[in-house]
Structure 1
């Protein structure tokens, strides 16, 4: 490519890939804060996360209608939207995690029962 100036170092990307937020979150190692109960298998947690998503969306709509101050309303709506997106991502991750025995919700491990995957050992 004659006539093009080259910069030293690695080439700069034209735009960031879509997986940047996910890769960033995957690098964060959250400590185990709580131990989930034995009945909290991936299917139950996935259903509970679905209910939490619906409740956060209802809260988002109510906050947008009830809160009068614009700054507070925008802050609450953004926080609830971020919570909903985070919950959705965790729910998607729970869909197939039993196959490789690595189920976790926001860094908290979820035990995979032997009926879902007999190769997973209960610790």
Structure 2
């Protein structure tokens, strides 16, 4: 992996596989729904309810969108989450689609 000068390379943990990240994305979306319920139940000011609802909806949409992008990574052999490259184990690469070392 070659980076431009001044760009830091970040190595993600081994458990950051596409399957794990898709599961984590679902958990985060469910957590956003629970947080939304708690905000609606306990926050009294209408403006704060609206602000929290928008913030939680944006986070949930972003996580769901990244989860959807992970579904396409097996086709393109290019898996990234929030701009960080995710390594696909050699055993999970599609046959004859991704040359070794491309994902």
TM-score in same-fold range (> 0.5): yes
SS at match of 1:96: helix
Q: TM-score, normalised by structure 2?
A: 0.78
Does 1:114 pair with 2:90?
yes
Q: TM-score, normalised by structure 1?
A: 0.66
Q: Does the C-alpha gap of structure 1 residues 67 and 36 become closer, same or farther in structure 2, counting only changes over 3 Å?
A: same
Contact 1:56 1:84 in 2 (8 A): yes
Residue matched to 1:44? 20
CA distance in structure 1 between the aligned counterparts of 2:26 and 2:99, rounded to whole angstroms:
27
Residue matched to 1:20? none
Greater helix fraction, Structure 1 or Structure 2: 2
CA distance in structure 2 between the aligned counterparts of 1:96 and 1:70, rounded to whole angstroms:
39
Consecutive unaligned residues of structure 2, counting only runs of 5 or more, are: 1-6
Consecutive unaligned residues of structure 1, counting only runs of 5 or more, are: 1-30
CA distance in structure 1 between the aligned counterparts of 2:58 and 2:8, rounded to whole angstroms:
22
CA distance in structure 2 between the aligned counterparts of 1:89 and 1:44, rounded to whole angstroms:
15
Does 1:73 pair with 2:49?
yes
Counting matched residue pairs gives 93
- The root-mean-square deviation of aligned C-alpha atoms, in Å, is 2.2
